[in-house]
Amino acid sequence: MEKYILITGASSGLGKETALQLAKDGYNVFAGVRKQENKETLESLHKNITAVFLDVTSEESVNCAFQEISKLTNNLYAIVNNAGIAVGGPVEFLPVDVLKKQFDVNVFGAIRVVQKFFSFLDKNGSRIVNISSMASYGVFPFVSPYCASKRALDMFFNSLLVENKNENLKIISIKPGVVSTPIWNKSVDACEKTFENVTQDCRDKYEKELLFLAGNARKNTQKGLKAQDIAKLVSKVLSKKNPKLSYNIGKDSHFARLLSFLPQKVCNFLVKTGLKKRIG
């Protein structure tokens, strides 16, 4: 039996690699993109990939994608919520509109897609895979919007797992450590644009920290896990009869998980001390 999978945010990086990996593994993949050039590129990679225009922040776009997919099938084996952005900055000065955008993509976007396609999920055994992050453990300063959005993503979908009437539905959270993808450069660019017009008070307080974190984030595009590593884990999770609810991948992700078990006061002290030492 043919198995269809919908993956969001497949234009580049992790989403693109996951779409290709799943197509190679024999799945029929609907890959969400926002640009014609990305659609053409993805569909040229493998015959099992059908790119669909999908902006998870737009209800109209999600509805259009639903109509396109429903022409080919009304049965999905899995939805992979991969679309995401990373917003950073000090909470004291972070514009609320920027926070809203973070949640609209990472949280509400995933909910919007799943609610629309929920009736397509196979009652005999289907999956929702969320690409969360080690940031969901909430121990990373100056990227609190990203951390909070990933924690919220996990919480909402764990509630869905408990509430829903489809006893065969599996919902899995994958929490990678640092992954070498374009999201870091995009995140720093967005952060720098946001703070172009900040007050001098903000610069005086946080400039040293923000410069350090921006440089470190740009280095992440060249280090850490490869996108293919995560793609292979997604494929493995989809093929397992009884997958775990949560998977950590990368030493830093396992460390963040362990750190989260400490009392909050101790955790805060360690993170703050570590940041001070690294900045010098």
**String of DSSP letters for 32-48:** EESSHHHHHHHHHH-TT
pLDDT-wise least confident of 70-84, 179-193, 197-211, 262-276: 179-193
pLDDT-wise least confident of 77-91, 104-118, 151-165, 189-203: 189-203
Query: Is the per-residue pLDDT at 67 higher than 70?
Result: yes
Segment 249-276 shows an average pLDDT of: 92
Give the span between the Cα atoms of 47 and 33, in whole angstroms: 17
Are the C-beta atoms of residues 222 and 103 closer than 8 Å to each other?
no
Mean pLDDT of the residues in the chain: 90
Are the C-beta atoms of residues 49 and 42 closer than 8 Å to each other?
yes
Are the C-beta atoms of residues 275 and 141 closer than 8 Å to each other?
yes
| 218 phi and psi angles, rounded to 5 deg | -65, -30
pLDDT-wise least confident of 32-41, 169-178, 269-278: 269-278
- pLDDT tens, position by position, 161-196: 999 999 899 999 999 998 876 665 666 666 666 666
E-state strands within 45-124: 49-53, 78-81
Percentage of the residues of the chain whose pLDDT score is greater than 70: 90
Q: Which amino acid is at 65?
A: A
- pLDDT tens, position by position, 259-272: 999 999 999 999 88
Q: Can you give the pLDDT at residue 89? A: 81
User: What class does CATH assign to 4-279?
Assistant: alpha beta
Q: Which amino acid is at 267?
A: C
Residue 138: which pLDDT band, with cuts at 50, 70 and 90? confident
Among 35, 36, 41, 37, which Cα is nearest to 16's? Answer: 41
Which pTM was predicted? 0.91
| 221 phi and psi angles, rounded to 5 deg | -70, -15
Give the span between the Cα atoms of 191 and 210, in whole angstroms: 9
Percentage of the residues of the chain whose pLDDT score is greater than 90: 70
Residue 87: which pLDDT band, with cuts at 50, 70 and 90? confident
- Residue 146 appears among annotated catalytic residues: yes
Q: Which of 27, 146, 206, 247 is catalytic?
A: 146
